[in-house]
């Protein structure tokens, strides 16, 4: 299992360490991907497992000294800046939507959105993906592998983005701000849910039995139990079952 350096998990998402799982495939990440499976998100420099403990600290502390004159985005080396400039010059431009990319490889991957091509298939369930990295991440559902470890509480995660979000529990960081009420959240999904439930009357989830509309899929699934005959909340002390969790909690008081 991998546990990234303190620099990477201090809330700077650009400094996280990535393995080949977050690369797209061998062709998309050709630079010694097998012998040096880890790469710094800040510099894109790759390194091996043997020097993993020392290298992240050196790489993540690299200053971003190279600035783009057109958008002021900053980079740690000139190579990454040159790649970025391809976006402004539209050297690699999608003929379908006009979006520009930093490399021909990135353009090729993007093209699969328009073509619908998904060349990477799961050997277990058959689900297909546009990127090899997405397939490798998906395979952890079947294998149970969780290589990303919190260096504070040691909780394990299957994807680096889950670990990044989890670290905000420890840091208290809430980077997502509601533009309507200024309430802050530690995950973008929580912010979107807040906007749907509090600030919007949109109800995109219809009940298939009665047609009643709900703001979230959770609300819908809870409602469907009204129509269902199943009682999924069972008491561990007796054979009695309940349709709702709060009914089970009230029942457990007697024990």
Whether 147 is in a domain gets the answer no
Domain with 235 in it: 207-252
Whether 246 is in a domain gets the answer yes
CA–CA distances in Å: residue 102 to residues 95, 96, 204: 15, 17, 37
* pLDDT at 239 > cutoff 50: yes
* pLDDT at 42 > cutoff 70: no
Q: What is the pLDDT of residue 38?
A: 54
Whether 5 is in a domain gets the answer no
For 107, what's the count of Cα atoms within 13 Å in the CB-facing half-sphere? 18
Structure tokens at 236: 């561990």
Whether 78 is in a domain gets the answer no
Whether 107 is in a domain gets the answer no
Cβ atoms 33, 49 nearer than 8 A: no
* pLDDT at 195 > cutoff 60: yes
Whether 245 is in a domain gets the answer yes
Whether 133 is in a domain gets the answer no
Cβ atoms 149, 1 nearer than 8 A: yes
* pLDDT at 55 > cutoff 50: no
How many domains does the structure of the chain reveal?
A: 1
How does pLDDT run across 64-85, given as a tens digit for each residue? 888 999 988 899 899 999 999 9
* pLDDT at 185 > cutoff 50: yes
How does pLDDT run across 125-167, given as a tens digit for each residue? 999 999 998 999 999 999 999 999 999 999 999 988 889 999 9
Whether 234 is in a domain gets the answer yes
Q: What is the pLDDT of residue 30?
A: 41
* pLDDT at 225 > cutoff 70: yes
Structure confidence at residue 37 as a pLDDT band (50, 70, 90): low
Report the alpha-carbon distance of residue 212 to residue 223 in Å, rounded. Answer: 9
- Domain containing 226 — which CATH number? 3.30.160.60
> How distant is the alpha carbon of residue 92 from its chain centre?
26
């Amino acid at each position: 299992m991998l546990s990234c350096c303190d620099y990477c998990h201090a809330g700077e998402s650009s400094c996280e360490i990535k393995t080949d799982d977050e690369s797209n495939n061998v062709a998309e990440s050709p630079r010694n991907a097998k012998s040096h499976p880890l790469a710094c998100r800040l510099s894109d420099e790759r390194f091996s497992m043997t020097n993993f403990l020392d290298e992240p600290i050196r790489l993540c502390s690299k200053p971003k000294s190279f600035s783009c004159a057109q958008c002021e985005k900053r980079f740690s080396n000139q190579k990454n800046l040159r790649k970025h400039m391809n976006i402004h010059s539209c050297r690699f431009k999608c003929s379908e939507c006009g979006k520009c990319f930093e490399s021909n490889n990135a353009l090729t991957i993007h093209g699969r959105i328009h073509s619908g091509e998904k060349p990477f298939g799961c050997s277990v369930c058959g689900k297909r993906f546009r990127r090899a990295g997405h397939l490798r991440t998906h395979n952890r559902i079947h294998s149970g592998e969780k290589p990303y470890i919190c260096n504070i509480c040691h909780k394990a995660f299957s994807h680096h983005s889950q670990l990044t979000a989890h670290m905000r529990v420890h840091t208290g960081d809430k980077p997502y701000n509601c533009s309507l009420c200024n309430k802050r959240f530690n995950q973008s999904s929580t912010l979107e849910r807040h906007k749907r439930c509090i600030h919007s009357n949109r109800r995109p989830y219809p009940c298939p039995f009665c047609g009643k509309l709900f703001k979230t899929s959770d609300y819908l699934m809870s409602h469907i139990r009204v129509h269902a005959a199943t009682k999924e909340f069972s008491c561990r002390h007796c054979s009695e079952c309940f349709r709702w969790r709060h009914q089970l909690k009230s029942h457990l008081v007697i024990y």
